Chain A
């Protein structure tokens, strides 16, 4: 590194940043620019303070869950738009469909929105050969869904939309 006599500290600092980007350590910077030891000591202290600052800024735990919930809700809103024009007042979105290969069992985790309330459900593992049967089992497993279905006199149909399989209950 060529050092010109009387070079300004800001030019030296830029060179030091380049060197650090290349992987040089603080100690090496001191050795390369001994004339500016005091200035670099201050700069490195600032860098340390900034790095320490990082650990003090922690997002609240609830925020992550809030975002995930909001995304689930938005997903259903998006799906709902697909069926605009139909009289749909609830959406049953099968958001996770998992095959367990060793046992040939299917587990369906479901997400259900009704009157702005979110219900989550899943079926028990069971031997099944079709998605329809798995969904039917899920419906049976969750008494709340059955109750709403019966109260609202709705029909369920499986509709493929937005890369997701969705059961829409249409009046």
Chain B
């Protein structure tokens, strides 16, 4: 358990924040700011969007903090749920836009992953390749991999955030790792 170690402290901070304690807000933000930013960045793969969305998440949390019920959710779960919903909203809007414009679909459909990865190998570092591979995982798999390895959450914490069983989370993790392995092998990195 990682964040669970701080659970008592974060619950206390949430209670204070609900009463308008600014220092408690600041402390909460300090705890969740970097993990939320990393989570968003890896999912949207765009620095500017990641900054905007991170800001949106914290403002949303701030505005809704008085409605937060500790008995229903942990603070960790609360912040990540808002982050997930913010990204889902973005994708939904992006999808609508894509469906309205068939040219975009055609362009996206033409992406040849092997070729794409091969090009990137030549000009980008290993981390870029890995980030690119993460993009080719399913949305569910992406989420699990980022929460597990980038944000260092336990399976139990991830299960609470994504609303799945721990077993389902492990299944997704297993498939994602297998998929990354296969793509890294294709790219001759493994």
Taking Cβ atoms with an 8 Å cutoff, the residues of A that contact B are 9-10, 13-14, 17-18, 21, 39, 42-43, 45-47, 49-54, 56-60, 63-64, 66-68, 70-71, 74-75, 78, 95-96, 162-164
Instruction: Give 15 A-B contacts (CB < 8 Å), ordered by A residue.
Output: A14-B170, A17-B170, A42-B181, A42-B184, A45-B190, A47-B149, A53-B131, A54-B38, A54-B151, A59-B34, A59-B38, A67-B29, A67-B54, A71-B59, A163-B20
Q: A46-B181, A53-B127, A71-B59 are in contact. List 17 more A-B contacts (CB 8 A).
A: A9-B178, A13-B174, A14-B174, A17-B170, A45-B190, A46-B184, A51-B150, A52-B127, A57-B37, A59-B38, A63-B55, A66-B55, A67-B59, A68-B29, A71-B58, A74-B59, A95-B22
Question: Which residues does chain B contribute within 8 Å of A18, judged by CB atoms?
Answer: 170
Q: Identify which of B26, B63, B126, B150 gathers the most chain A CB atoms within 10 Å of its CB.
A: B150
* Distance to closest chain A CB from B51 (angstroms): 5
Question: Which residues does chain A contribute within 8 Å of B63, judged by CB atoms?
Answer: 74, 78
Q: Which residue of B lies closest to A47 (CB)?
A: B149
Question: Which residues does chain B contribute within 8 Å of A53, judged by CB atoms?
Answer: 127, 130-131, 149-150
B55 near A70: Cβ-Cβ < 8 Å = yes
B130 near A70: Cβ-Cβ < 8 Å = no
Q: Dominant SS at the A interface?
A: helix
Report if B175 contacts A (CB, 8 A): yes
Question: Which residues does chain B contribute within 8 Å of A66, judged by CB atoms?
Answer: 55
Report if B180 contacts A (CB, 8 A): yes
